Amino acid sequence: MYKKKIAVVLKKAAVRIVAAAVFTVAWRALSAGSVPYNAPVVFSGALCIAGAWLSYLRLDGFAARYKKHASPARQAPKKTDESIKHMLDLSPEEERLLSEEPEPAENAKLGLYANLLAGTALIAVSFIFR
């Protein structure tokens, strides 16, 4: 159980670090060498730390509401044939175990850890390679 969570956190952090590396190379190429290497790395690390803060707020119950009213296209779908749902006789716990996607709170927690890991790694690298 914990190995899967650690693997998810490491994958998310690795994706963020690779994206920061690509951003650093692109920034360096577009600035024609006038910007030091650690400036875009610090910026990427700060973005990751800001993402961790937003994940923390999401865990605390904060949710950004972009629209006051739901558009007709985004309304809940109408109920269809209920007989398909009754074919499997599973408890709610078993249904949760069958689904591979984590719950929103757990997903926010994993994102928080991944952002903290990537942000601290990027900022540490920027201080090491000044």
The identity of residue 92, as a single letter, is P
Phi, psi of 74 (to 5 degrees): -100, 10
Residue 78's pLDDT is 57
Rounded to whole angstroms, the Cα distance separating 121 from 70 reads 40
- pLDDT at site 119: 95
Go through the chain and tell me how many residues it has. Answer: 130
104-125 as b/e, with b when 16 or more CB fall inside 10 Å?
Answer: eeeebbbbbbbbbbbbebbbeb
Q: Where are the domains of the chain?
A: 1-63+103-130
* pLDDT for the residue numbered 21: 92
pTM as predicted: 0.69
The answer to whether the CB of 126 falls within 8 A of the CB of 42 is yes
What does each of the 130 residues of the chain score in pLDDT, given as a tens digit?
788 899 999 999 999 999 999 998 898 888 887 878 788 999 999 999 999 999 999 888 887 776 665 555 555 555 555 555 555 555 665 555 555 666 778 888 999 999 999 999 999 999 998 7
The sign of the dihedral angle between the CA atoms of 89, 92, 98, 101 is positive
